[in-house]
Homo-oligomer: A and B are copies of this chain.
Amino acid sequence: MATRITPERIVELEAGGAAAHVADLASLGEQLDRRGIDVEAVIAEVAAFSVAAPSWAVGTGGTRFGRFPGGGEPRSTEEKLDDVAALNAVTGANRTISLHVPWDDPADPAALRIHAEELGLAFDAMNSNTFQDHPSTTGGDVSFKHGSFAHADPRVRERALEHNRYVVDLGVALGSTAITVWLADGTNHPGQADFRRQFERVAEGLAELHGHLPDGWTLLTEHKPFEPASYSTVNADWGTSLLLARAAGPNARCLVDLGHHLPGTNIEQVVSRLAMVGRLGGFHFNDSKYGDDDLTVGSVNPYQLFLILLELVAHGGGALPPLRYMIDESHNVKDPLEDLAQATDQLQVALAQALLVDRAALAAAQDGNDAAGAAEILQAAYRTDVRPIVAEARSRNGAARDPLGVLRRSGYRAATAAERGSGLAATGL
């Protein structure tokens, strides 16, 4: 197993900057105090935040044009957990991992769970895969080429359902309490399928899956307008996702992936709508410039991320509501762990900024039709340099003030490359 990055090692690696951090935090505290904000409360809320790392994203990602794996790719689900543990060591905010079956299909779930516990990790929402053929799902006699839950052939739909039930059962064994169902089902050509019949089949399948959920479990429906389907996708937008969640049952919720929207979509308003009707269930965080780019969280439009988190903080009455928070990125040119560390850092920054918003003043500006005043209130929070808060929150969690720097200086990647070798591609996209 690769070397663990301990809190002690982190303190050692970051000894140099400690004094500067104390000074920066103190002056920020004074500034916030002037604005009537208790910096300690913000630090506590940031420290409490955790976002799941996806098991498929600790390996190098790719596109249909190619994939360039780096050294030290994880060769197994166990090693994916090791990598997430290393990530969590530096961020303190990735305490769970989200598995993807059959990319992850542990022969001994109990052993994997013990391994996770030893690493201080738990299992977040499970993910099922019905967009590829695999011996453990389609088994060679059927195919998901023309759909899974939406397929015209009931045998294929049954196979999709079986796989999803299997994933739930596996999740139970691992201690997970949710399953995210993202379906590639759709069409590439006008006329290829009937929109309504496709929807009805998917709704029926999700309702059956919902019937299989243990107590306390949540079924998350995830929409996406295109890719891999190029002309239509069954669960294409939040409106459809909501109809499907309602058709599935009371424990179904909608998951919002930040990259799964048509150009120009006001995502923060979509979040508000789903929260309003009580069906907002979780997030896949990433960023996007064109299509579903799966880029580093907040790397293209960090202000949009801030606005989304502000919507969530409002929904949670001043704190993040207890939803499922996951990162979903594709790390094609950055080291996956470095990219995940930057993503987590960006989320912590945006959360801290959102917590700084004077929501009472904002509501007053809104009621007074003072758009300029409202903008000032948002900017007052967004422009604040919250890095000392975030660094302090991480420190209190035993993690690094500077996650990327510590990750690099820790030698973790060199160690895994030595141990695991190079040129192998981890399972995933």
Contacts and interface: CB of A to CB of B under 8 A. Distances in A.
A30 B28 CA distance: 13
Interface string A258-283: 00001111101100110111000000
A68 B143 contact: yes
Interface string A363-379: 10111110110111110
A263 to B, nearest CB: 4
Contact of A374 (B192, B277, B377): B192
Contacts of A290: 225-227, 230, 264, 291
B301 A304 contact: yes
Interface string A299-318: 11111100100010010000
A133 interface: yes
A339 to B, nearest CB: 6
B192 A296 contact: no
Contact of A404 (B295, B339, B372): B372
B273 A372 contact: no
A371 B349 CA distance: 20
Contacts of A375: 189-192, 296, 299, 334, 342
A416 to B, nearest CB: 16
Interface residues of A, number: 107
Interface stretch (A82-90, A169-177, A204-212, A380-388): A380-388
A335 to B, nearest CB: 6
A319 interface: no
B291 A227 contact: yes
Contacts of A265: 262
A302 B232 CA distance: 18
A375 B262 CA distance: 25
B291 A188 contact: no
Contacts of A238: 237, 239
A24 interface: yes
Nearest to A310: B191
Contacts of A338: 372
A331 to B, nearest CB: 9
Contacts of A192: 333, 366, 371, 374-375
Interface stretch (A1-9, A38-46, A112-120, A193-201): A193-201
Contacts of A242: 239
B20 A34 contact: yes
B262 A263 contact: yes
Contact of A27 (B27, B152, B332): B27
Nearest to A265: B262
Given A66-B131, A131-B66, A332 B188 contact: yes
Contacts of A240: 239, 273
Interface in A1-43: 20, 23-24, 27, 30-31, 34
The 9 A-B residue pairs with the shortest CB-CB distance, nearest first, are A239-B239, A68-B145, A195-B272, A385-B385, A27-B27, A63-B228, A230-B293, A191-B374, A263-B263
Given A66-B144, A68-B143, 7 more contacts: A152-B367, A192-B374, A197-B366, A226-B289, A230-B293, A239-B242, A333-B371
9 contacts: A63-B227, A230-B289, A263-B263, A299-B375, A333-B371, A334-B375, A335-B372, A383-B387, A384-B385
